Structure 1
Amino acid sequence: MIKRQADVTRTLLIRAAGDAISEAGATTFTLDGVAKRAGLSKGALLHHFPTKSVLVEAVVRDLVDQFWNDVQAAALEDSEPNCRMTRAYILTIARLGEKQNRRWGGLATAFVVDPSLLHLWRDTLRRYQQAVESETQACESAWIARLAVDSLWSAELFGTPSIGGTSRAKLIERLVGLTYPIAERDKQAA
């Protein structure tokens, strides 16, 4: 499928805005800076995104969509159906790079400044939650794993002391292990 030039330009602007937000924050980045970063005029930017808030919403929407597409792709690769979405969620967070985490961290300020943007994340989280609940009725250890990875991700987003390197990798492996049925977990531990 051939992308229209307008779609390519919008994507370029959204990515440039994401980079600007990750460096300057959602409240202090400038439209001039985004246009310059994208190699376009400010008029071209305003043609696609008439206000800063419309551009920020597009960045949030793009990042959220990208995140959940990655979760879905990871789930499709998983042959164990029980708690597949939770494992996919954990692995997606584990695979986020520093650049993506800086974007999420920058957008966290946007959520505070404009709480209406938070609905994009909440709505997709509700859909995810429904998928988790439909795949398993009661798996306490999977919920514990999910909440633990959320805590790890929050620490990484806000730059608070956390763990890295092999300790982080071991923690992720352990959290993923908590999502398997008990018999499967016993095999993995052996």
Structure 2
Amino acid sequence: MKTAYHRKKQPEAVRQLLLGVAAGLCIEKGAAGVTLDAVAAAAGVSKGGLLHHFPSKAALLDGLLDDLMSRLDAAIHQAMIEDPEPRGRFTRAYLRVCFVLGGMAEEERWKAMTMALLGEPHLRQRWRRWVEDQSLLHAGTDSSIDCELVRFAADGLWLASLLESHPLDPGRELDLMHRLVELTRS
């Protein structure tokens, strides 16, 4: 009992654990299966500990989306830094992050979030706002119809990957990637 009081607290590690468990439950049981009780039990955390980080199911799902969007923003930003050509830079970065040969980073969490987005209107609204903000932010360099087409194609390829509905061999993936990158430059 005494050791519990001396245990080093790691709030970010607990928060990430809770988000990971919530994502796993969402994949396994759908968004309806993500209950506070189920997440706390699966994470081995008290319900009070869960409520300290996420006071409601909506806050937990918002936390998962925030975490993923933050990672997505950072990955896109890094890919943009590495691309010297301004025209279509955001679209190429979006493509490289979302249509990654061999699978997207955080793919399991994105799979869970996609399921949650389908069932939670407030999450869809937040995602729509992110997409709109990116369109406005990069309107000067990425507003061509080809760039828009590439982003839609990236979304379709991403969804097909998450759903495992259209398996592609690596050579075909690479051909698709090259063709889409070419479109960002036309």
TM-score band by shorter chain is: 0.7 to 0.9
Distance (whole Å) between structure 1 residues aligned to residue 105 and residue 93 of structure 2: 20
Query: Of the candidates 150, 156, 161, which is equivalent to residue 151 of structure 1?
Result: 156
- Aligned identity (percent) is 33
Query: 2:133 maps to which residue?
Result: 127
In 1: Cα distance, 2:44 partner to 2:88 partner: 44
Select between 73-82 and 156-165 the one with higher mean Cα deviation. Answer: 156-165
C-alpha distance in 1, partners of 2:23/2:141? 33
Alpha carbons 1:82, 1:135 under 8 Å: kept = yes
2:168 is matched with: 163
The alignment yields a C-alpha RMSD, in angstroms, of 2.4
1:82 deviates by 1.1
Runs of at least 5 residues in structure 1 that lack an aligned partner in the other structure: 183-190
How does 1:82-121 map onto structure 2 within 5 Å?
82-95=87-100, 97=103, 100-121=106-127
SS of 2:106's partner is: helix
After superposition, the Cα gap between the structure-2 partners of 1:105 and 1:136, relative to the gap in structure 1 and judged at 3 Å, is closer
Partner of 1:185: none
After superposition, residues 13-52 of structure 1 pair within 5 angstroms as 13-52=18-57
| Cα shift at 1:36 | 4.4
Deviation at 1:123, TM superposition (A): 1.4
User: How has the CA–CA distance of structure 1 residues 143 and 99 changed in structure 2, closer, same or farther, with 3 Å as cutoff?
Assistant: closer
In 2, the alpha carbon distance for the partners of 1:10 and 1:128 equals 27
With normalisation by structure 2, the TM-score equals: 0.81
- Runs of 4+ more than 6 Å apart: none
Partner Cα distance (2:104, 2:85) in 1:
29
- 1:15/1:86 Cα in 2 relative to 1: closer, same or farther (>3 Å)? same
Q: CA deviation at 1:74?
A: 0.7
Q: Are 1:77 and 2:82 an aligned pair?
A: yes
Whole-Å Cα distance in 1 between the matches of residues 154 and 124 of structure 2?
20
2:146 aligns with 141
TM-score (norm 1): 0.79
Contact residue 26 and residue 56 of structure 1 kept, 8 A: no
| 1:76-129 superposed Cα distances (whole Å, 9 cap, x missing partner) | 111111110000000001238367333223222322322011122111111211
Change (3 A) 1:38 1:149: same
SS of equivalent residue, structure 2 residue 180: helix
1:176 and 1:145 map into 2 onto residues whose CA distance is 8
Residue in structure 2 matched with residue 187 of structure 1 by the alignment? none
